[in-house]
Structure 1
Amino acid sequence: MLRTLLWCGPCDLPMHPNPSRGQRTYKCGQGCRRGALPAEAVEAVTWTAAERRATLAAIRPPYRKSVLEQLLARVVVNSEAPDDLRFIWRT
């Protein structure tokens, strides 16, 4: 869901989906030492932030990616914790 929105804070580069041991994760692709983040946790925190920003509760999961792309310019990961995110909203 965050393929084009999730960015690594220290590297300032996009993070990419990275299947790891059968689980979906996101990882910085530029040799950053940041560990892989669990995709579901990062996506849930991001969606909760988006719901606070707009009335989005009625949007079904298949449409959430496009809604997030309209609301967010990027999501910056600040540490290895999936809830340590900074949201840059489109204006």
Structure 2
Amino acid sequence: MTTTNDPYLLRRLLWCGPCEVHFVCINKAEFDPQKQAHVPKRHYKCPLGCRRELLSAEAIESQAWTEAERRATISDIQPPCRQSVLEMLLVKVVIGRTFADVEFTWLT
């Protein structure tokens, strides 16, 4: 298990199902009403542009981590090691035609 400073846990694992390509990582500033300022937010996007919406990195990474916790006893893994753990457990994560359509392919 290795640590990383990469903020995108699924960088090498997240795929666009319809296009069969890896998602790319995008930083985009969004307005935060509580801070009354634009703040950077992490997203994933299909590089071929099949989707106009960006996929929230926080949302899909949280979903992937929750699924990984169901499969293995990993609840005490600290964030810098989580990318490494997901890469050991997952082959890929495919986003289908909608962002709610998520398929996890696990190593067996």
Task: Tell me what 1:65 maps to.
Answer: 83
Task: Tell me what 2:94 maps to.
Answer: 76
- Counterpart code for 2:43: T
What is the CA distance between 1:31 and its match in structure 2? 2.4
What is the CA distance between 1:34 and its match in structure 2? 4.7
- Counterpart code for 1:86: E
CA distance in 2, matches of 1:77, 1:63: 24
Task: Tell me what 2:62 maps to.
Answer: 44
Task: Tell me what 1:85 maps to.
Answer: 102
Q: Does 1:5 align with 2:13?
A: yes
User: TM (normalized to structure 1)?
Assistant: 0.91
Over 3 Å off, 4+ runs: none
1:46-76 Cα offsets, whole Å, 9 max, x none, are: 0000000111101111100000000001000
Question: Is the contact between residue 72 and residue 90 of structure 1 (CA under 8 Å) also seen in structure 2?
Answer: yes
Could you say which structure has the higher strand fraction?
Answer: 2
Count of residues in Structure 1 that have an aligned counterpart in Structure 2: 89
Does 65-74 or 25-34 show the bigger shift? Answer: 25-34
CA distance in 2, matches of 1:37, 1:17: 10
RMSD across aligned positions (CA): 1.1
Of the two, which has the highest radius of gyration?
Answer: 2
Q: Does 1:17 align with 2:25?
A: yes
Which of 51, 54, 62 is the matching residue for 1:33? 51
- Counterpart code for 1:15: F
What is the CA distance between 1:35 and its match in structure 2? 1.8
